[in-house]
Structure 1
Amino acid sequence: MLTVESLAAGYGDSQVLFDVSLRVGAGEVVTLLGRNGMGKTTTVRAIMGLLPARGGGIALDGESVAGLPPHRIAQRGIGLVPEGRQVFPTLTVEENLVATAANRGPRDATGAPRWTLAAVWRLFPRLLERRGNPGSRLSGGEQQMLAIGRALMTNPRLLILDEATEGLAPVIRAEIWAVLAALKAEGQAILLIDKNLGAVLRLGDRHVVIEKGRTVWSGGSAALAAAPEVRDTYLHV
């Protein structure tokens, strides 16, 4: 599905990514790991076209998307839950969800879009209770639920989450992890950034570790769990 090869990118005169490679297949959960400032969010921004690639390749289903504007990349079937949530503060919960609705991706057995308002309400009942509240009046956990629901309303083939549970209370983190596990069970492809190593080892199929803008390790959960030198060198603060 998604293939990133030797990606290079940066901001102005500062180059952040030098050689990042990863791939996400259909139905896979792949995590992008590394300490703060190593280039994880920059990688996501480059994939989404929010930052131009300076080298390497980004392809979706074998077709290059490098250089396309962000809305065109989203239309190819990628939904983003950005770092910091970035919900629309003056729109209600329901308006936030409707604003991004699209019928471009998965469908149910009847041929209808998989993700509708009703489906998001079932996934996050708390959002239904607050459907008329503006985004600015939600708690951090509720905003993260809304950001995930908003991305799902695009009916993406690939869902990208940048810092899926950062700053959330433990009970909300547990709910988010349960939702992501349910999405995985339904075959949703996911590219995930999060610092909770135990949770990502349980959820992820494969993991990609980056250090100073370069991919330095990749492999499955069992391999990463059995590689304390990788965790100590590249993941622990």
Structure 2
Amino acid sequence: MLRVEDLHAGYGGSQVLFGISLAVAAGEVVTLLGRNGMGKTTTVRTIMGLLPASGGALLGGRIGFAGTDLAGQPPHRVAQRGIGLVPEGRQVFPTLTVEENLAATAANRAGGAPRWTLPAVYALFPRLAERRRNLGAQLSGGEQQMLAIGRALMTNPRLLILDEATEGLAPLIRAEIWAVLARLKREGQAILLIDKTLSAVMRLADRHVVVEKGRTVWTGSTEALAAAPEIRETYLHL
């Protein structure tokens, strides 16, 4: 579904990515792992068209999604292809209500009968239903993360990307988010996930991509990562 090959990108004159490669198949959960500052968020931003691949589409690498070349496409075109993003920092609309936040992104990118509607998102996150008339700025951090996930799901994405899925959340909220992601996986949702909680991502994901200083340094299954303590110690400091 998603295939990124030899991706190069940066900010201004500072290069951050030096050849990231990864793939996510339909129905698969893949993590992007690495220490802070290693290029994970930059990779997501480049996939989403928020940051151009350096050197143009050919020299900067390739971003293929469902048979379409996304390199050089603006963010709204990437979203229209069926990629839903839960960004780092949540970025909910602070002056819109919960329901208005959800309705603002409603679309049917996957085709067919839409799976995710307001009632479906409220059933997934009952707390959002309780607070549907509250403004985004009035929500707790955990509620904002639920809203950010719900907002991405309202696009009915073919691929869901989460950047720091549970960072800074209380333990009970984190557990709820992991339970929701496990449900989405059971229902066949393709997911690309960034998170620092290795024990949780290893329970959830099918495969893992480890990055170091803007390069892909290891790719493998959960079983392979569990059997490779040197990879965890060298690149994840765990």
Report the TM range for the smaller structure's normalisation: over 0.9
- Counterpart of 1:225? 226
Aligned: 1:12 with 2:17: no
- Counterpart of 2:96? 91
- 1:82-122 residue CA offsets vs partner (Å, 9 max, x unmatched): 00000000000000000000022154xxxx31000000000
Aligned: 1:120 with 2:121: yes
Structure 1 residue 130, shift from structure 2 partner: 0.1
- Counterpart of 1:65? 70
SS in 1 for 2:230: helix
Gaps of 5+ in 2: 55-59
- Counterpart of 2:57? none
* Matched-pair contact (CA < 8 Å) for 1:106–1:156: no
- Counterpart of 1:39? 39
CA distance in structure 2 between the aligned counterparts of 1:106 and 1:129, rounded to whole angstroms = 29
CA distance in structure 2 between the aligned counterparts of 1:57 and 1:47, rounded to whole angstroms = 10
CA distance in structure 1 between the aligned counterparts of 2:184 and 2:190, rounded to whole angstroms = 8
Gaps of 5+ in 1: none
- Normalised TM-score (structure 1): 0.97
- 1:172-228 residue CA offsets vs partner (Å, 9 max, x unmatched): 000000000000000000000000000000000000000000000000001001100
| Letter paired with 2:74 | P
* Matched-pair contact (CA < 8 Å) for 1:5–1:56: yes
- Counterpart of 1:154? 155
Structure 1 residue 12, shift from structure 2 partner: 0.1
- 1:50-77 residue CA offsets vs partner (Å, 9 max, x unmatched): 0000111001023211001000000000
CA distance in structure 2 between the aligned counterparts of 1:104 and 1:187, rounded to whole angstroms = 15
| Letter paired with 1:86 | Q
| Letter paired with 2:28 | E
Aligned: 1:101 with 2:112: no
| Letter paired with 2:149 | I
SS in 1 for 2:128: helix
CA distance in structure 1 between the aligned counterparts of 2:166 and 2:66, rounded to whole angstroms = 29
- Counterpart of 2:80? 75
Aligned: 1:136 with 2:137: yes
RMSD: 0.8
| Letter paired with 2:62 | G
- Normalised TM-score (structure 2): 0.97
SS in 2 for 1:182: helix
SS in 1 for 2:4: strand
Structure 1 consecutive aligned stretches of length 4 or more whose deviation exceeds 3 Å: none
CA distance in structure 1 between the aligned counterparts of 2:68 and 2:101, rounded to whole angstroms = 31
CA distance in structure 1 between the aligned counterparts of 2:111 and 2:219, rounded to whole angstroms = 28
CA distance in structure 2 between the aligned counterparts of 1:4 and 1:126, rounded to whole angstroms = 36
CA distance in structure 2 between the aligned counterparts of 1:41 and 1:219, rounded to whole angstroms = 20
Aligned: 1:185 with 2:164: no
